[in-house]
Amino acid sequence: MSVSTSAAWQTSDDATRIYANVLVPVLFGPWAEDLVARAQIAAGERVLDLACGTGAVAAAAARAATITALDRNPAMLEYARSTGIDVDWQSGFAEDLPFPSGSFDLVLCQQGFQFFSDRTAAATEVARVLRPGGRALASVWRNPEENLWAAAVISALETVSSSWGESMRKPFSLSGDQLASLFDGGFKNVRQVRVRRNITIGDTAVFAQRFIGAVPFLEEIAAQSGAMEAVTAEFTERLNRLLSNGGITSAVSVVIADRA
């Protein structure tokens, strides 16, 4: 299995399956439904799911529209294609989209911008591929303190290695305000919504084990004797504590912008 610690949060084949089967149902699918509902897609609209991963947003949107979905990660795309959803899956980079100007009515991007190496270029590309009057909706996690499952896994990783804790902060490295400011050029009516929900995890020990199995720096954890067991046990215990304290909360910022 090859994994990478790349800042773009690239996953291996195995990690991609865990991502799709364990993380998406808990951490991405419900938010994808929320993002698509917010987008109020009209029949026949041309939609781009940017940084589609295994296709959580594309799947939620495909019922209503003509969907193209793009990601840089071959393992994610291979999984997405295997779902058989009627989507045009494309390999590519957000910073250099392989589409003519004005190709889309709507661009959706769930939990993608924080991983882009050039976020400004990606926002400029979103503006370019949208038709005038089209719209963009992008989401990012709010900070770990508002995503208690994340605070739990960061703390669990830090008990063994501060650098693993630091790597786990990457998904929370872009605030809603920073995301909104990327849409200053080429857009109007840029607005931001904070959305909060309780999440249902099921068996915390199973979830913790699978979650750690899907991180891009898994190889480093696996290479250190006892680390996997220690981090998983600590993460499980912290999740259980959250559950006994009334549930596990999660929050994202959604930025909505109209193409000028």
Ligand X SMILES: C[S@@+](CC[C@H](N)C(=O)[O-])C[C@H]1O[C@@H](n2cnc3c(N)ncnc32)[C@H](O)[C@@H]1O
- What is the Cα–Cα distance from 16 to 86, expressed in whole angstroms? 20
Q: Which residue is nearest to ligand X (CB)?
A: 53
Q: Does 217 bind ligand X (CB under 6 A)?
A: no
Q: What are phi and psi of 72, to 5 degrees?
A: -90, -10
d(CA 223, CA 251): 33
Cα dist from 97 to 22, 72, 80, whole Å: 29, 11, 19
Mark the segment that binds ligand X (CB under 6 A) among 106-114, 124-132, 150-158, 179-187: 106-114
Tell me whether residue 170 or residue 230 sits nearer to ligand X (CB atom). 170
Of residues 131 and 170, the one with the C-beta less far from ligand X: 170
Q: Toward ligand X, which CB reaches closer, 20 or 227?
A: 20
Name the segment binding ligand X (CB under 6 A); options: 99-107, 113-121, 236-244, 250-258.
113-121
Q: Which CB sits closer to ligand X, 108 or 242?
A: 108
Minimum Å distance from CB 56 to ligand X?
A: 4
Structure tokens at 165: 């804790």
C-beta closer to ligand X: residue 94 or 254:
94
Q: Does 8 bind ligand X (CB under 6 A)?
A: yes
Rounded to whole angstroms, what are the CA distances from 137 to 30, 40, 234, 257? 16, 11, 36, 7
**Under DSSP, is residue 62 helix (H, G, I), strand (E, B) or coil?**
coil
Q: Which of residues 73-92 bind ligand X (CB under 6 A)?
A: 73, 76
Contact map string, positions 44 to 63, toward ligand X, x by CB under 6 A: -------xxx--xx------
Counting beta carbons within 10 angstroms of the beta carbon of residue 84, is it exposed (0 to 12), middle (13 to 18) or buried (19 or more)? exposed
Residue from 15, 67, 72, 208 touching ligand X (CB under 6 A): that is 72
Contact with ligand X (CB under 6 A) among 89, 104, 116, 235: 116
Cβ closest to ligand X, residue 167 vs residue 227: 167
**Terminal Cα distance for the chain, rounded:** 45
Q: Give Cα separations from 98 to 68, 69, 91, 105, 218 (angstroms).
A: 11, 11, 9, 16, 32
Residues of the shown chain interacting with ligand X in the complex, contacts defined by CB under 6 A: 8-10, 24, 28, 32, 51-53, 56-57, 71-73, 76, 93-95, 110-112, 115-117
